[in-house]
Amino acid sequence: MTYIELPDHGQRDVSFYLSMEEYVAHHVDAADCFFMWQVEPSVIFGRNQVAEAEVNLDYCRRHGIRTFRRKSGGGCVYADMGNVMMSYVTRGESVGFTYNKYVTTLLLAFRRIGINATASGRNDILVDGGKVSGSAFYQTHGHSIVHGTLLYDTDMDNMTSAITPPSDKLQSKGVGSVRSRITLLKDHTDLSLGQLKDALRRQLCDGSVTLTPADIRSIEAIEAEYMSTGFIFGKNPPYTVARKQRIEGVGTVEARIDLRGNTIRNVCFKGDFLPGEVPIERLENALAGAELTPARLTMALAGGEAAAIRGMQTEALISLLTNKT
């Protein structure tokens, strides 16, 4: 794996590193790339999430915590200088294969440096039963991008106050709060944060590429999209009904449906679900014009469009849309 270096060590925003992932995918000629980064206090929410519902925006404003949207699915994460963010870019677009490869490689690296980590659920890595890492992914131009958190000495007060997960998510995991699910790596290793980063890099990478000032300018051009208000707060088309459900192995899925009579004019999916093997737009387009009945929805989804949401079965999606559980 090739480690991607920056030509300087200046402080940058979340938006820069997300743009850097895209740039590496499009312009660095290496099969597998990896880099780590740290930022000042920030909240990063998933592509399909509604910021106002998932983030305590007032708390973030009062405490100088910036908010960003990423292009991958999944839920909100909090990051600060006690937290390491990891980015993995690889060729190919198979969601399952890419994610399994990333998790397996990371778990092996942890164990080699003396941290007994295990995988759990859709996208979590645990140490002694507590979550230390979550990840999300998406595809772009023939590449897959996976990015994840690594909690070392994160400000837990900021994390728990800035992120406001729905109560049904916590209940589904059998816990009463975000804090009760989390553990910090500093309590499970004698390595300092810097030593941990160095150890992971040695385990994962066997070479490096340093980006040039010209590369940086190109990354900053990509960054403009991430900084736009339209991207940060997402698309919110009008709707007449909303159907929301937490589905085991999938996550929280909300369908915002604009109905005319009993016919779907448009539908927009929100939630912390992960992307599947087809674009979410394909699913939304397939449903437009369909009558909101099980028979008609089955016909509309006959091409496997439910696979736009990872782990989603057609029957479960129809049950959600028709509000039959």
Query: What Å distances lie between residue 109 and 1, 41, 112, CA to CA?
Result: 13, 27, 5
Span 188-202, pLDDT tens digits = 999 999 999 999 999
As a whole number of angstroms, the distance between CA 270 and CA 287 comes to: 15
Number of domains in the chain: 2
The residue segments making up the domain with residue 60 are 2-233
Are residues 286 and 215 part of one domain? no
Across the beta sheet with 263-271, the strand order is: 241-247, 251-260, 263-271
Are residues 52 and 171 part of one domain? yes
Span 48-75, pLDDT tens digits = 998 888 899 999 999 999 999 999 988 8
Beta 241-247 vs 124-127: how paired, if at all?
unpaired
Span 265-296, pLDDT tens digits = 999 999 999 888 888 999 999 999 999 999 99
Query: What Å distances lie between residue 203 and 89, 178, 288, 293, CA to CA?
Result: 17, 30, 48, 53
- Cα angle value 315/316/320 (rounded, 5°): 115
Beta 2-5 vs 207-210: how paired, if at all?
parallel
Q: Give residue 81's pLDDT.
A: 97
Averaged pLDDT, 6-17: 93
Are residues 47 and 115 part of one domain? yes
Q: What share of the chain is helix, strand, coil (3-state, %, to 5)?
A: 35, 30, 35
Q: What CATH number is associated with residue 281?
A: 3.30.390.50
List all residues 6 or more positions away from 31 whose beta carbon is below 8 Å from its beta carbon: 90, 91
As a whole number of angstroms, the distance between CA 198 and CA 89 comes to: 19
Query: What Å distances lie between residue 252 and 38, 54, 239, 245, CA to CA?
Result: 28, 12, 18, 6
Is 305 in a helix, a strand, or coil? helix
Are residues 152 and 33 part of one domain? yes
Are residues 251 and 218 part of one domain? no
pLDDT band at 4 (very low <50, low <70, confident <90, very high): very high
CB 34 within 8 A of CB 82: no
Domain final residue, candidates 207, 233, 259: 233
Q: What CATH number is associated with residue 88?
A: 3.30.930.10
Averaged pLDDT, 225-246: 87
Across the beta sheet with 77-79, the strand order is: 66-69, 42-45, 77-79
pTM of the full predicted structure?
Answer: 0.85
